[in-house]
Amino acid sequence: MANKRTLITGITGQDGSYLAEFLLSKDYEVFGLVRRTSTVNYERIKHIEDKITLISGDLLDQNSLINAIKESNPDEVYNLASQSFIPTSWKQPVFTGEATALGVARVLDAIRTVNPKIKFYQASSSEMFGAAPPPQNEKTPFRPRSPYAAAKVYAYWMTANYREGYQIFACNGILFNHESPRRGQTFVTRKITRALADILVGKQKKLYLGNLEAKRDWGYAPEYVETMWLMLQQDEPDDYVVGTGEVHAVKEFLEETFSYANLDWREYVEIDPRYFRPTEAEYLLADPAKAREKLGWEPKITFRELIKIMTDADMEAAGLKPVGEGKAILEKKFGGWHQWQANMSMGNGRSGQETG
């Protein structure tokens, strides 16, 4: 039987890069949608670039999406592209709506037009729950608390409507926060682990943060991309909440990270009101019972292990000898398609592939 083909939007992002690796390990032919930028930003996929095909396109451009789907002729489309940073969604709400909300309508309609048999995964978000009381599951009503969350709610319902209205095999993965050494540097986890490494090498003295009381359900990204694939392998399309079922405050993430390197975070951290948000999702905690039962999915990496993996990676990237526990955890628990060395694809690389 011929290999399956997939088109991943957002392949240059954290999740897209891990999903591409995972699908390559399953013998998929992988195509990735990339938008034109003035400097090439393929650092997360540079280690697999010769195994994938990149296609130029943008969620804001309908024709480019139709062409990308025609060119890749996929069995499955994973829509991971979005403007994903919540503070930016407050500064650029209209652009965020264009990419994160309408972009999804464009991809869905391109699938309907070119080939409605293509299976579709939408990267929905726990941020949609916003102010809804925890724990949150598939039945929890959405109470979005940011322009990003509101855009994701629109995208969620478009996915459900194309499933019901056009019988497209479309799934929403409602994923809670998932992190890794490839996490964007402005998200709080990576901002903290990176700052610790910079403090240790003497490049940074202080770390400025916002709301330390916010609570999140943090997991390890490579494990989460496996659930995306699992959703599209089920007999029927459906929506799933994915998270660890464990919650921690930002302050706890700080405490654990700094104590891993024998430092006291209180000596380095200052609160900067610039990082407070107009409204906040204060308490996001997954009830992942359905994913556990129907997809057979159980996360292996714990909160403390996640911190050790990310901190080791940032220490290594800063030229330090890592404490080493994170590396060992990964080797012990996560062999197979995901290895330490690949995790280190987070620096600045240039690309060989050109898209026009």
Q: Which does 211 bind (CB under 5 to 8 A by kind): ligand NAP, ligand GDD, none?
A: ligand GDD
Closer CB to ligand NAP, residue 178 or residue 248? 178
- Near ligand GDD by CB under 6 A, which window of 70-78, 182-190, 229-237, 324-332? 182-190
- State the nearest-atom distance from the C-beta of 222 to ligand GDD, in Å: 15
- State the nearest-atom distance from the C-beta of 284 to ligand GDD, in Å: 6
Bridge partners, 175 (sequence order) = 125, 242
- Near ligand GDD by CB under 6 A, which window of 60-68, 186-194, 311-319, 335-343? 186-194
Distances (CA, A) of 62 to 1, 150, 300: 32, 22, 39
Is 125 a residue of the active site?
yes
Instruction: Reply yes or no: is the peptide bond before residue 93 cis, omega within 30 of 0.
Output: no
Which of 6, 7, 16, 338 binds ligand NAP (CB under 6 A)? It is 16
As a whole number of angstroms, the distance between CA 141 and CA 40 comes to 40
Is 148 a residue of the active site?
yes
Angle at 214 between CA 213 and CA 220, to 5 degrees: 125
- State the nearest-atom distance from the C-beta of 206 to ligand NAP, in Å: 26
As a whole number of angstroms, the distance between CA 195 and CA 258 comes to 10
Q: Find the binding residues for ligand GDD in span 79-118 (CB under 6 A).
A: 84, 86
- State the nearest-atom distance from the C-beta of 336 to ligand GDD, in Å: 25
181 lies in the site for ligand NAP, by CB under 6 A: no
Minimal CA–CA distance to 55: which of 92, 9, 110?
A: 9
Residue with the closest Cβ to ligand NAP?
A: 13
- Near ligand NAP by CB under 6 A, which window of 7-15, 70-78, 128-136, 327-335? 7-15
Torsions phi, psi for 160 (to 5 deg): -65, -40
Where would I find the beta strands (DSSP E) of 210-259?
215-216, 219-220, 240-242, 248-249
Closer CB to ligand NAP, residue 172 or residue 257? 172
As a whole number of angstroms, the distance between CA 81 and CA 34 comes to 9
Contact in structure between 4 and 29 (CB atoms under 8 Å): yes
**Count of residues in contact with ligand GDD, rule CB under 6 A:** 22
9 lies in the site for ligand GDD, by CB under 6 A: no
Where would I find the beta strands (DSSP E) of the chain?
5-9, 29-34, 53-56, 76-79, 119-125, 170-175, 178-179, 207-209, 215-216, 219-220, 240-242, 248-249, 269-271
- State the nearest-atom distance from the C-beta of 281 to ligand GDD, in Å: 6
187 lies in the site for ligand GDD, by CB under 6 A: yes
**Count of residues in contact with ligand NAP, rule CB under 6 A:** 26
Q: Find the binding residues for ligand NAP in span 111-170 (CB under 6 A).
A: 123, 125
Q: At what angle do helices 103-114 and 62-72 cross, to 10 degrees?
A: 50
216 lies in the site for ligand GDD, by CB under 6 A: yes
The token pair at 353 is 């592939």
Of the candidates 64, 125, 146, 180, the residue annotated as catalytic is: 125
41 lies in the site for ligand NAP, by CB under 6 A: yes
284 lies in the site for ligand GDD, by CB under 6 A: yes
Closer CB to ligand GDD, residue 65 or residue 128? 128
Contact in structure between 289 and 171 (CB atoms under 8 Å): no
Contact in structure between 49 and 349 (CB atoms under 8 Å): no
Burial category of 254 from C-beta neighbours within 10 Å (exposed 0-12, middle 13-18, buried 19 and up): buried
37 lies in the site for ligand NAP, by CB under 6 A: yes
Would you name the residues annotated as active-site residues? 125, 127, 148
Binding region for ligand GDD (CB under 6 A) = 84, 86, 125-127, 176-177, 186-189, 191, 209-211, 214, 216, 250, 275, 277, 280, 284
Which residues contact ligand NAP by CB under 6 A? 9-10, 12-16, 33, 35, 37, 41, 58-60, 80-84, 99, 123, 125, 175, 177-178, 184
